[in-house]
């Protein structure tokens, strides 16, 4: 029997992407742990484990030994524990003494404070260094005991080197900038978390429900499926469900990114976190809490870190050997130059955490900002793949088209008025459930045509219908059902355009031809043109429709096509392109295209709001049916990759210059300590541009 369970635990104390690697490594070493994902933005770990081999106390202990902690709950405590208070006091001491001594050391270089620094006993200076940096030193020691090297390890070695030659003032200033660096990294990480936290803040916490004959306000967590929820003007919808009474104008921009509100009434589906701008509704809850569409969006944005881009994996591998290499350079500097302060400066100036931050901060900024606009991206690796895509494969029905046929032509063969033909056909089709029958009825409704109750009605599967209207026999169907339809030359041009034809006969006489087609989404041609401009070299239509219909649509759009395909045929086509070295994007509706979406390098599902299958199958889900979002998400992907490359390039150049200057003795440890905090701010500023993209 499979006992594997998945648990989520909060993890506090993580300030940079390097921290997640240490927590992940510590937990993964436990016997019984199958897999671990650690998320910096949501400050949690998702662990698959065998509960017979490992338990929460063991996990909490290894996380603690790695220098972090597992709170009893994800919520922050109301009263900070003594340890937090002590840490804040130590930080304050480090700041105060660091600033004072920075002034003193600067004055000493100017020859003003030589007597002052000389009068401070070395043991006092040593005590100040240890007290001010104790929390940092403790984490370094814990990491060393776990055979790990963290970003503060090198700077701690620099502090030890300064103390070894009696430069306690220099060591204390280095500790001060270590504290500054901690704050900068924390600030940078919070910037990456902000988009996710903004999403989380949109989830309503209180719901008004009908229970025991009265209205009650209860926490959303206590709402059950089937409860009747009341939403009034200006309130957020707390659940996914169906409107059972009332009318409202609903702002769904939080979910779909669409600024135009929609009208909802009885029978309409509504979603959690959307806002009733005008009107009140009663809703029968169908999904609550994390099971709502918005809840799934938040969860997937939180866990998007797990799908790390290849460039992010490179950064992780780089961090693993970067610190030992820097330590080696510092050792060589000391051996060759016999200058311990130069060696200390090399250790202090190295910015390993900025390398680890370069990718996730940019990726998470893009993913969070995109989610607010109705673009759900499941991870950095899909952004990277999308940015490099060169082949686009398209489904037809429900993707390029609206997914339901509409009447396009009404041709009279005996002088009967087209409106009269539509009214007759809609009356005869009144009780038919066929999609083409609904298209005829919809066309009659649009024209406000009066309908007649059929006196007789018979559905003929695969052929059409027979009915009696006002005493006259009416037959509507394909050419096999209606006499004389096969010889009708007027229908050939309509069929050549890929339209489906209904032939109407009255009292045995062929009277009219009604053409219907699945209408192309109006924004598709412009979107495909934009994708070509963005460098997509091959666009191909894959459809299960017949060749005639597929050819008509493909020629209209200027794309290649393959028709009469089964789902497994689409998968084979995707694999064939991938085998040729192409990066393939598949756009579908997320239902019948789920296998091909999953096989593609990037699967994009259209109109995924409320659809479990679409959200699960695709790598990117567009929460509304709008083709203009496809080139938009491609632009976002390429912009994100450029920002990541800029972050990595800036960090590499900065480290190279800093280490070189320190090796040559041009960068004292004090300035090296100050310099190592700057790349994090640069990465934050560069990545923040992704939050403002339009």
Local confidence band at 124 (pLDDT 50, 70, 90 cut-offs): confident
pLDDT at 655: 86
Q: What is the pLDDT of residues 373-397, one digit of tens each?
A: 878 888 788 888 999 999 999 988 7
Q: How many residues does the chain have?
A: 694
Name the residue among 566, 525, 573 with its Cα closest to residue 543: 566
Euclidean distance between CA atoms 229 and 237, whole angstroms: 9
Q: Is the pLDDT of residue 111 over 70?
A: no
Q: Is the pLDDT of residue 332 over 50?
A: yes
Euclidean distance between CA atoms 28 and 34, whole angstroms: 8
Euclidean distance between CA atoms 379 and 309, whole angstroms: 8
Q: Is the pLDDT of residue 540 over 90?
A: yes
Which residues are CB-contacts of 8 (< 8 A; sequence separation ≥ 6)?
44, 45, 46, 47
Mean pLDDT score, 171-189: 69
Q: Which residues are catalytic?
A: 395
CB 245 within 8 A of CB 282: yes
Euclidean distance between CA atoms 297 and 615, whole angstroms: 9
Fold of 224-287: 2.70.150
pLDDT at 606: 84
Query: Both tokens of residue 223?
Result: 């709402």
pLDDT at 253: 73
Q: Which of the four CATH numbers 3.40.50.1820, 3.10.180.10, 3.40.1110.10, 2.160.20.10 does domain 404-520 have?
A: 3.40.1110.10
Q: What is the pLDDT of residues 518-527, one digit of tens each?
A: 888 899 999 9
Q: What is the pLDDT of residues 196-237, one digit of tens each?
A: 666 667 778 889 999 877 888 888 888 888 899 999 998 889
Mean pLDDT score, 543-550: 78
Name the residue among 248, 250, 273, 271 with its Cα closest to residue 260: 250
Mean pLDDT score, 665-680: 77
pLDDT at 106: 57
Q: What share of residues in the chain are helix, strand, coil (percent, to 5)?
A: 50, 20, 30
Q: How far is CA 519 from the centre of its chain?
A: 30
Local confidence band at 77 (pLDDT 50, 70, 90 cut-offs): very low
The yes/no answer on whether domain 5-65 falls in CATH 3.30.565.10 is no
Fold of 378-401+521-629: Rossmann fold (3.40.50)
Mean pLDDT score, 163-181: 75
pLDDT at 79: 39
For 610, left (φ over 0), alpha (ψ -120 to 50), or beta?
left
DSSP 224-247: -TT-EEEE-TTPBP-SEEEEEEEE
Q: Is the pLDDT of residue 278 over 90?
A: no
CB 283 within 8 A of CB 214: no
Angle in degrees, 0-180, between the axes of helices 17-28 and 310-337, rounded to the nearest 10: 100
Name the residue among 399, 394, 392 with its Cα closest to residue 584: 392
Which residues are CB-contacts of 109 (< 8 A; sequence separation ≥ 6)?
none
Q: Is the pLDDT of residue 172 over 70?
A: yes
Residue whose pair of structure tokens reads 């050939």 in the numeric block: 492
Give the chain's mean pLDDT: 80
Euclidean distance between CA atoms 440 and 491, whole angstroms: 18
Which residue did the predictor score with more confidence, 560 or 366?
Answer: 560
Name the residue among 555, 520, 540 with its Cα closest to residue 587: 540
Residue whose pair of structure tokens reads 């994100």 in the numeric block: 640
Q: What is the pLDDT of residues 312-327, one digit of tens each?
A: 666 666 666 777 888 8
CB 620 within 8 A of CB 636: no
Local confidence band at 639 (pLDDT 50, 70, 90 cut-offs): very high
CB 641 within 8 A of CB 383: yes
Rg (CA), the chain: 33
Local confidence band at 113 (pLDDT 50, 70, 90 cut-offs): very low
CA angle 225, 230, 233 (to 5 degrees): 140
CB 394 within 8 A of CB 539: yes
Which residues are CB-contacts of 442 (< 8 A; sequence separation ≥ 6)?
406, 407
CB 307 within 8 A of CB 248: no
Euclidean distance between CA atoms 583 and 386, whole angstroms: 8
Euclidean distance between CA atoms 445 and 163, whole angstroms: 87
> For the chain, what are the domain ranges?
5-65, 224-287, 378-401+521-629, 404-520
Q: What is the pLDDT of residues 551-584, one digit of tens each?
A: 888 988 999 999 878 777 888 999 999 999 999 9
């Amino acid at each position: 029997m499979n006992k594997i369970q998945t648990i989520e635990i909060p993890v506090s104390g993580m300030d940079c992407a390097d921290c997640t690697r240490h927590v992940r490594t510590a937990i993964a070493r436990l016997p019984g742990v199958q897999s671990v994902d650690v998320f910096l933005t949501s400050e949690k770990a998702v662990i698959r484990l065998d509960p017979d081999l490992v338990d929460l106390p063991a996990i909490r202990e290894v996380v603690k030994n790695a220098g972090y902690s597992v709170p009893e709950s994800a919520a922050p405590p109301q009263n900070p524990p003594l340890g937090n208070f002590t840490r804040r006091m130590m930080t304050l001491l480090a700041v105060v003494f660091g600033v004072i001594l920075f002034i003193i050391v600067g004055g000493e270089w100017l020859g003003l404070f030589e007597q002052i620094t000389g009068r401070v006993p070395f043991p006092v200076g040593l005590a100040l260094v240890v007290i001010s940096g104790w929390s940092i030193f403790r984490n370094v020691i814990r990491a060393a005991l776990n055979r790990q090297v963290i970003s503060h390890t090198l700077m701690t070695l620099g502090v030890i080197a300064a103390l070894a030659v009696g430069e306690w003032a220099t060591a204390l200033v280095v500790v001060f900038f270590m504290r500054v660096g901690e704050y900068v990294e924390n600030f940078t990480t919070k910037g990456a978390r902000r988009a996710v936290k903004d999403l989380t803040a949109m989830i309503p916490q209180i719901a008004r429900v009908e229970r025991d004959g009265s209205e009650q306000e209860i926490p959303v967590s206590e709402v059950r499926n089937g409860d009747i929820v009341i939403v009034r003007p200006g309130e957020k919808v707390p659940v996914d469900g169906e409107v059972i009474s009332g009318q409202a104008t609903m702002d769904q921009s939080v979910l779909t990114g669409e600024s135009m509100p929609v009208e909802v009434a009885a029978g309409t589906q509504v979603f959690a976190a959307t806002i009733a701008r005008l009107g009140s509704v009663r809703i029968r809850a169908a999904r609550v809490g994390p099971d709502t569409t918005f809840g799934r969006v938040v969860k997937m944005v939180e866990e998007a870190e797990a799908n790390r881009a290849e460039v992010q994996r490179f950064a992780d591998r780089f961090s693993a050997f970067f610190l030992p290499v820097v330590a080696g350079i510092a050792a060589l500097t000391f051996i060759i130059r016999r200058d311990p302060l130069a060696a200390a400066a090399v250790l202090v100036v190295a910015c390993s955490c900025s390398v680890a931050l370069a990718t996730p901060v940019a990726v998470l900024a893009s993913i969070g900002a995109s989610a607010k606009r109705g673009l759900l991206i499941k991870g950095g690796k899909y952004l990277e793949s999308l940015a490099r895509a060169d082949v686009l494969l398209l489904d037809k029905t429900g993707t390029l088209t609206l997914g339901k046929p509409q009447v396009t032509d009404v041709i009279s063969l005996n002088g009967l008025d087209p409106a009269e033909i539509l009214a007759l056909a809609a009356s005869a089709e009144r009780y038919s459930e066929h999609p083409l029958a609904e298209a005829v009825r919809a066309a009659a409704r649009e024209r406000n045509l009066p309908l007649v109750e059929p006196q007789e009605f018979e559905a003929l599967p695969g052929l059409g219908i027979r009915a009696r209207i006002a005493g006259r026999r009416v037959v509507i169907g394909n050419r096999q059902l209606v006499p004389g339809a096969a010889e009708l030359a007027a229908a050939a041009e309509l069929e050549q355009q890929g339209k489906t034809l209904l032939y109407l006969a009255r009292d045995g006489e062929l009277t009219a031809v009604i053409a219907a087609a699945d209408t192309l989404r109006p924004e598709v041609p412009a979107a495909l043109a934009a994708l070509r401009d963005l460098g997509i070299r091959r666009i191909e239509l894959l459809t299960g429709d017949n060749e005639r219909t597929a050819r008509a649509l493909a020629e209209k759009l200027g794309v290649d096509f393959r028709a009469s395909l089964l789902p497994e045929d689409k998968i084979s086509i995707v694999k064939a392109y991938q085998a040729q070295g192409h990066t393939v994007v598949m756009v579908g509706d997320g239902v019948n295209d789920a296998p091909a979406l999953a096989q593609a390098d990037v699967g994009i599902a259209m109109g995924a709001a409320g659809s479990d299958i679409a959200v699960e199958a695709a790598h990117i889900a567009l929460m509304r049916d709008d083709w203009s979002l496809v080139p938009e998400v491609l632009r976002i992907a390429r912009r994100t990759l450029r920002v990541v490359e800029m972050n990595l390039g800036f960090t590499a150049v900065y480290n190279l210059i800093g280490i070189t200057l320190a090796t040559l003795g041009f960068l004292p440890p004090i300035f090296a300590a100050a310099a190592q905090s700057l790349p994090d701010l640069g990465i934050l500023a560069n990545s923040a541009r992704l939050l403002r993209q339009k």
